[in-house]
Amino acid sequence: MSKEKYRPETLAAQGMGRIAQPYLEIAPAIHVSTTYERAADGTYPGKRIYSRADNPTYDAAEALVASLENAAGAMLFSSGQSAAAALFQSLAPGDGILAPRNMYWALRKWLLDFAVHWGLRVELYENASLDDLAAKAATHRPRVIWIETPANPTWEVTDIAAASAIARKHGAIVAVDSTSATPFLTRPIELGAAIVMHSATKYLNGHSDVIAGALATAADDALWQRIRYVRGSGGGVLGPFEAWLVLRGMRTLHLRVAACSSNALAIAERFHRHPKLPHVLYPGLPSHPQHDTARKQQRGPGAMLSFDLGSLEAARRFLNQVKICALAESLGGVESLISLPALMTHASMPKEVQERIGISDGLVRLSVGIEDLEDIIADLDQALLYV
Ligand SMILES: Cc1ncc(COP(=O)(O)O)c(C=O)c1O
């Protein structure tokens, strides 16, 4: 199937088209072999060597990620964390990374702990502040400017095009954790980013049944080849069945993202004037500080939102009553999930750091699923009576 001719929705629905010869199967095959036969002259007629480097099951999934991101290539990894780590491990000791103060908590921890220990220089900038980004880029001279937008769990939106212009001025590249935006809302490479990262565990797969990651690249350059080497030699590869699940999930990505986002927008609009919810954080609301940037670089506001219930006690009473949304970490599945960052994902963070990045004790995060909208609203409504 010619990639240029079809829109992302068509490519996704067809999983990049029929790929499996000789039977022309509509669903792709899963290739489980770890190794491949050599010819007597030592060559590999099947053009594969060993499955730690790559696996034929990856082909359609990686081609689809690349196509959705309008990228020159894509690679699957064993998790979102290993995808991000592969990029940073491709750098040299002494290289600088400029990362947002608020970002996926475990990657923040990995950067400030592991990456620094390895000799990378890590500096933090204020999310969404281009002034701070420009000033720190000038003094810190980073090789990579990392952006997470919208940034979990307070959903600041960073202007990727403007950040990419700053990066170019200082000889850096921009890499974007686009997990919560998905390629259907934002295509960072078209805005100037060099690398896009996804926790494919989330929307790309969409069914909370696989841990996976992906990187996509603007250019098949030396950095990309280095990342490929890190994956193949470090061994952070995905199993073939998991790769197949990611491909299957992506076939409905556009439908799921549209349904979750429309539910989330309706919930945010309904609750942001609720007397018990003074702070609903959602890029789709005009009250969001970067609402205009979100409108500019996202095709829709997304399906993640957070709100502040004022205190830990109030949040606990609320969460005790919610029935539809399970209290659990993670996001991006067809089912709604709710979480309390201060006591769950961010519990290991010192209180002052939590406060600095806007995580109050009463902050509740909601990953909106595709359930019936009125059912979700009725459930949240009844739980709010207990706040
Ligand atoms: C925004 C974001 N980035 C990265 C990750 C890490 O992905 P994984 O859990 O697949 O390693 C997560 C996981 O929650 C995430 O939410």
Of the candidates 263, 328, 59, 74, the residue with the CA atom closest to the CA atom of residue 183:
74
**Helix, strand, or coil here: 91?**
coil
Query: Does the Cβ of 217 fall within 6 Å of ligand 1?
Result: no
C-alpha 135/C-alpha 211 separation (Å) is 37
From the list 54, 159, 177, 361, the catalytic residue is 177
- Whether 113 is a known active-site residue: answer no
Burial group, residue 275, by CB count within 10 angstroms (0-12, 13-18, 19+): exposed
36 among known catalytic residues: no
What is the full per-residue pLDDT of the chain (387 aa) written as tens digits? 455 688 888 989 998 776 667 888 888 889 999 999 999 999 999 999 999 988 999 998 999 999 999 999 999 999 999 999 999 999 999 999 999 999 999 999 999 999 999 999 999 999 999 999 999 999 999 999 999 999 999 999 999 999 999 999 999 999 999 999 999 999 999 999 999 999 999 999 999 999 999 999 999 999 999 999 999 999 989 999 999 999 999 999 999 999 999 999 999 999 998 988 878 999 999 999 999 999 999 999 999 999 999 999 999 999 999 999 999 999 999 999 999 999 999 999 999 999 999 999 999 999 999 999 999 999 999 999 999
Task: Tell me which amino acid residue 160 is.
Answer: I
**CATH (residue range 254-384):** 3.90.1150.10
Among residues 58, 104, 125, 282, the one annotated as catalytic is 104
177 is catalytic: yes
* Alpha-helix runs per DSSP H in the chain: 8-13, 56-68, 80-89, 105-110, 116-117, 130-140, 160-169, 182-185, 222-234, 240-250, 253-271, 291-297, 312-321, 351-356, 373-384
Q: Cα of 104 to ligand 1 centre, how many Å?
A: 6
- Catalytic site includes residue 52: yes
User: Residue 182 region, left (φ>0) first, then alpha (ψ -120 to 50), else beta?
Assistant: left
CATH classification for the domain delimited by 3-250, as one of 3.90.1150.10, 3.40.640.10, 3.10.20.30, 3.40.630.10: 3.40.640.10
Please confirm whether the linkage preceding 153 is cis (ω < 30° from 0).
Answer: yes
Ligand 1: which atom is nearest the Cα of residue 213? 10
Ligand 1 atom closest to 152 (CA): 1
Flag whether the pTM goes above 0.95: yes
- The residue annotated as part of the active site, out of 108, 202, 228, 365, is 202
Which of 77, 154, 202 best tests ligand 1's pocket when mutated (most atoms within 8 Å of CB)?
A: 202
Nearest to 189 by CA among 176, 202, 172: 176
Q: According to the model, what pLDDT value does residue 5 have?
A: 80
Distance 387 CA to ligand 1 centre (A): 30
- Beta carbon of 79 within 6 Å of any ligand 1 atom: yes
Q: How far apart are alpha carbons 127 and 162 in whole angstroms?
A: 13
Protein residue with least CA distance to atom 6, ligand 1? 80
Domain boundaries, the chain: 3-250, 254-384
CA 299/CA 14 separation, integer angstroms: 22
Establish whether residue 81 lines the binding site of ligand 1, counting it when its CB lies within 6 angstroms of any ligand atom.
yes
H or E segment to which residue 73 belongs: strand 73-77
Would you state the pLDDT for residue 131? 98
- The number of beta carbons lying within 10 Å of the beta carbon of residue 367 is 27
157 CA → ligand 1 middle, Å: 17
